[in-house]
A and B are shown apart, each in its own frame.
Chain A
Amino acid sequence: DAKTTQPPSMDCAEGRAANLPCNHSTISGNEYVYWYRQIHSQGPQYIIHGLKNNETNEMASLIITEDRKSSTLILPHATLRDTAVYYCIVRDDPYGNKLVFGAGTILRVKS
């Protein structure tokens, strides 16, 4: 079973920041948090990942709480092309590398 909890859907106005929350209260100390997104009928696309520090790349920022039990993905200026399903994932197998996907959050960016 997935070890993350995300809201099923969110709306965001075009040009505004989209803040997508994720709870992962059972995360262990050596597990990373990954974020992916999936545009309809395509393969998931990697966005960002982190362990304990906040991370930023050209696509997004990842804010992880100090206790690591939750995180927030931030798309600073959402566009219509950011409409997708966003998955928050923790690495399931510490000795391997399986990813366990939950249902994700459907983000709808509206003009």
Chain B
Amino acid sequence: DGGITQSPKYLFRKEGQNVTLSCEQNLNHDAMYWYRQDPGQGLRLIYYSQIVNDFQKGDIAEGYSVSREKKESFPLTVTSAQKNPTAFYLCASFSGQNYGYTFGSGTRLTVV
């Protein structure tokens, strides 16, 4: 079945470490997105990519980095510059048609 796979589901990071969250899709979608969700709040856009080798900052890009070397993959790196990284991270893709976006099941990152 087509979909988005995020891994790992839970991730623990020590302060000062960089960590990379994986997002892979087999939907042949051009556009991919990373959102952050804090408890009791909506989703905030971190980065998005509309095509391979191109990406744009969202509303809260500071302390994060991404790459888009392949259509299927859009990994997110949470750097040590992100002061409050503990959150639920969601990856999504969009086909470019007027259909729904597809979300992954999320990665819950905790700084210990």
- Taking Cβ atoms with an 8 Å cutoff, the residues of A that contact B are 2, 32, 34, 36, 41-47, 49, 87, 96-104
Judging by beta carbons under 8 Å apart, are B33 and A43 in contact? no
Measured between beta carbons, the chain B residues less than 8 angstroms from A45 are 103
Judging by beta carbons under 8 Å apart, are B42 and A103 in contact? yes
C-alpha gap A32/B44 in the complex (Å):
20
- Taking Cβ atoms with an 8 Å cutoff, the residues of B that contact A are 4, 31, 33, 35, 41-45, 48, 50, 58, 88, 90, 92, 94, 96, 98-106, 108
Q: Is the interface of B mostly helix, strand, loop or mixed?
A: strand
Judging by beta carbons under 8 Å apart, are A98 and B88 in contact? no
Judging by beta carbons under 8 Å apart, are A41 and B50 in contact? no
Judging by beta carbons under 8 Å apart, are A43 and B42 in contact? no
Q: Which residue of A lies closest to B40 (CB)?
A: A103
C-alpha gap A49/B100 in the complex (Å):
8
C-alpha gap A47/B103 in the complex (Å):
12
Judging by beta carbons under 8 Å apart, are B88 and A41 in contact? yes
19 pairs, CB–CB < 8 Å, chain A vs chain B: A41-B106, A42-B105, A43-B92, A43-B105, A44-B101, A44-B103, A46-B102, A49-B98, A49-B99, A49-B100, A87-B42, A96-B31, A97-B31, A97-B96, A99-B33, A99-B92, A101-B42, A101-B43, A103-B42
